Amino acid sequence: MDDNRQAFCEALASAVSSRTGPQPFRYVEIGVAKGGTLAAMCEAMDAYPDLHWTAMGLDIPAKDRTGYFREKATKQTVGAWLSGIYPDLESIKPLERRGWAAIVLRPSFEVLPTLEPPLDFLFIDGCHGYNCVRRDFELAEPLLRVGSVVAFHDTNPRAQGWHQQAHCQTGIEVRRFLMDVGLLDNSRPGFVKTHETGERARMGGAVVVQKIHG
């Protein structure tokens, strides 16, 4: 998340401060790849001394036609925070520490419908085709609480239409989805766009939104 670090850290602070219950703070990342952002988020959450947090990364094994998960790189990057890489949710073994991460090698559209709310911070960074981004957001929306944050990657205007996505077989279409559902121009009730990064860069960029009422 190098190009988005400041935005993600500010959004994290907002999601942490808006929590009400005693349950662990939950970060979910759709699409882990080599674990760069997952590790950065673990580090950022761990910097809150009293925060009990869990992180869950979802990805698809690299042997699958649409998967780019890199196990060796992720183990190195996420390091001591990583409890394991699992075939399903039921196999997860928590670590005996106040913050830990698990990776589940199942696609988002299988896992999201089985999760209990709330998710505190969701990073949507799987397939960037229109239909997949829409499905990821729609499946996750019921899991959000007031104050939850959702970040979308590859929102840069110049990246749209490029980079054929293995699953959807289209280029990147994140921005068109955000526009259609009113998350880019703040016309969607209940959400506010808090950050937009990398508008002038060639690739990447992120849009961060926060749920502000039910």
Ligand X SMILES: C[S@@+](CC[C@H](N)C(=O)[O-])C[C@H]1O[C@@H](n2cnc3c(N)ncnc32)[C@H](O)[C@@H]1O
Give yes or no for a contact between 25 and 54, defined as CB atoms under 8 angstroms apart. Answer: yes
Query: Rounded to the nearest whole angstrom, what is the least distance from the CB of residue 97 to ligand X in the complex?
Result: 23
Tell me which H or E stretch contains 39. helix 36-46
Angstrom distance (rounded) from CA 189 to CA 50: 33
Contacts of 80 (CB under 8 A, 6+ apart): none
Using Cβ positions, the residue closest to ligand X within the complex turns out to be 31
Residue closer to ligand X (CB basis): 174 or 183? 174
If binding is defined by CB under 6 A, does position 60 make contact with ligand X? yes
Query: Rounded to the nearest whole angstrom, what is the least distance from the CB of residue 32 to ligand X in the complex?
Result: 6
If binding is defined by CB under 6 A, does position 84 make contact with ligand X? no
If binding is defined by CB under 6 A, does position 4 make contact with ligand X? no
Choice from 8, 69, 121, 152 touching ligand X (CB under 6 A): 69
If binding is defined by CB under 6 A, does position 36 make contact with ligand X? yes
Cα angle value 25/31/33 (rounded, 5°): 115
Identity of the residue numbered 18: S
Give yes or no for a contact between 94 and 52, defined as CB atoms under 8 angstroms apart. Answer: no
Residues near ligand X, by CB under 6 A = 1, 29-34, 36-37, 58-60, 66-69, 107-109, 125-127, 132, 167
